[in-house]
Structure formats: C-alpha cells, structure tokens
Structure 1
C-alpha cells in the first residue's frame, strides 16, 4: 500500500515540477482542456493569480482572476487537474500579501499590479 502512495506522490511532484514557479500577483496563462460533446479543445485563461491554497500538497489550488467586458471572472484550478495542459508565466507582479482579494473592489488603472524586476 505504501508503494502505491509513494508512486502517486512521485507522479504529482513530476507534474508540479513541469509548471513554472508562480505566486500571488503574477499574471499567468492557463491552457485548459475543454470537452464539448465528443470534441476536445484547449482554451486559454489568462489572468492574475489571486491566491494559492494548500501549497505543496496534493490538494493544492490556485485562483486566477481576469476582467472580460467589465465583468470580473475568477476560476479556481486544482494544480494536479488532468484538465490543465500547461501554465505559462506571462509576467511577475510585485505585491506585499499572499491573498489579493482587494482586487475585486478595484477596476481600471487602480487594479494594476507593478511588475517585479
């Protein structure tokens, strides 16, 4: 039984290692597989990472927020989800906290995040 658990943990660390290191405030592009009927396609979801939960565990999730047509969209992705094809790091953001819930109340220029050099 313990060999099976070790195998699953090894598989999860391999998948986690294939993604770039990102944190709250970073803008990422998540390539998600979407099934429509019997067809499957890849859709990109680009936005700012608001939070990461349960980091370095098998239940790790991250929330990405984007604004489309003046409507804020947030999506929660499990890191080990088979629906995630790849994650691209677009830009790093300079923030001073781990949870960026305050972005929900901001819009336009006020919602911008400075880039980390």
Structure 2
C-alpha cells in the first residue's frame, strides 16, 4: 500500500495535476486509490461521484465528462460557473465544505468515486 499526503499539494504543485497522475495511472492499471481534498477540480480524476451529507447518501452519478460532475443536481444548488478556473489556480469553496475521494477497483466494477458534503442540501437525517 502506498500513501500520498496531498493536503498541501496545490501549494507545491499548482493544481496538483502532476501529483494526481500517479494514483490515476495506478487506477487505470487496476489498482485502488483514495484521494481526499477540498479542491473541487480533483473530482475530475474520479469516474463516479457519490454525494453525502451527514453520512447520508444524497445522490450517486457516473459521468463521462469531468465537467459534468459539478452539474449533478445535488451540487447544482447555490453556485454556478466554477469550472474551470481560467488561471488554473486551485478552486476551493469555503462555504461549501467539499470532501472528494477517488476510489477505484478493477475495471469490471466501479472505477472511481468522489464524495461531496454540502451543508445546505435539504435531506432527511438518520438517527
């Protein structure tokens, strides 16, 4: 198992693309990878998006184009025009509390997942 700490990757590597190529290449070869970040553009590295709020599933979607990740109904409330940043700076939305994970398994099953948490989504709480 290889662990990469990417907490401050944008400070060292711009948008983190250089660093994210390593786990993405491993995923494409059939390995599993998990990525957690607050940069919304890192969702482009995932093949499937799972939206959660307070641990409750809000939406699940699979996208062919990374740009479509941010147009999912669960995330398409409260902001627009955030993809992509013209100057390629990291995109962090402080009021949106985004946590994104890339999770992959062999190609016969799902290849990736991005987890989003949005504090203002109207969902039912579980006790």
Taking structure 2 as the reference length, the TM-score comes to 0.27
Higher strand share: 1
Q: Which has the larger radius of gyration?
A: 1
Greater RCO, 1 or 2 (C-alpha within 8 Å, sep 6+): 2
Superposition TM-score, scaled by structure 1 size: 0.28
